[in-house]
Amino acid sequence: MRIAHIGIAVKNAEVALQLYRDLGLEPDHTEVVESQKVKTVHIPIGDSSIELLESTSPEGVIARFIEKRGEGIHHIAIEVPNIEESLTRLKEEGYRLIDETPRRGAGNMLIAFIHPKSTNGVLLELCQRAD
């Protein structure tokens, strides 16, 4: 397992990207995930990446997050070998799941979120590379 990425909610990904470019980093992938109303910009750094999240709709989850909390860290994603087994185990242990079954996310990854009330206030995303 590894930290796959850290998701950062931003109002404007192009503006936010400038900081990372100034540090010598460049994005390797930009994608709009219509089902989640979000534009993602992945910036590789070591064995992980930073994922800038810009809402594509005022009703999107990221827009609501920014309205309530402002720009900043939205989630930490952990890549797991088997997302379904991980979700089953966490549910059995009493963790509150936002997603009880995986769904498709950016990069065609299988993803599922664990509620921050179960994780000391941190929204955790589990992800698994799709075959």
Task: Give the whole-angstrom CA distance, residue 34 versus residue 93.
Answer: 33
Task: Give the whole-angstrom CA distance, residue 78 versus residue 68.
Answer: 25
At residue 107, the pLDDT reads 84
Please state, as a whole number, how many other Cβ atoms lie within 10 Å of the Cβ of residue 18.
Answer: 10
Q: Structural domains in the chain?
A: 2-128 (3.10.180.10)
Q: What are phi and psi of 15, to 5 degrees?
A: -65, -45
At residue 130, the pLDDT reads 82
Output the tens digit of pLDDT for each of the chain's 131 residues. 999 999 999 999 999 999 999 999 999 999 999 989 999 999 999 999 999 999 999 999 999 999 999 999 999 999 999 999 999 999 999 999 999 999 998 888 999 999 999 999 999 999 999 87
* Closest to 17 measured CA to CA, from 5, 4, 32, 28: 28
At residue 95, the pLDDT reads 96
**Strands of 103-104's sheet in order across:** 29-33, 38-45, 48-55, 2-10, 72-79, 124-128, 110-114, 103-104
Tokens 């930073």, located at residue:
50
* Closest to 38 measured CA to CA, from 7, 79, 83: 7
pLDDT of 96-121, one tens digit each? 999 999 999 888 899 999 999 999 99
At residue 65, the pLDDT reads 96
pTM reported for the whole predicted model: 0.91
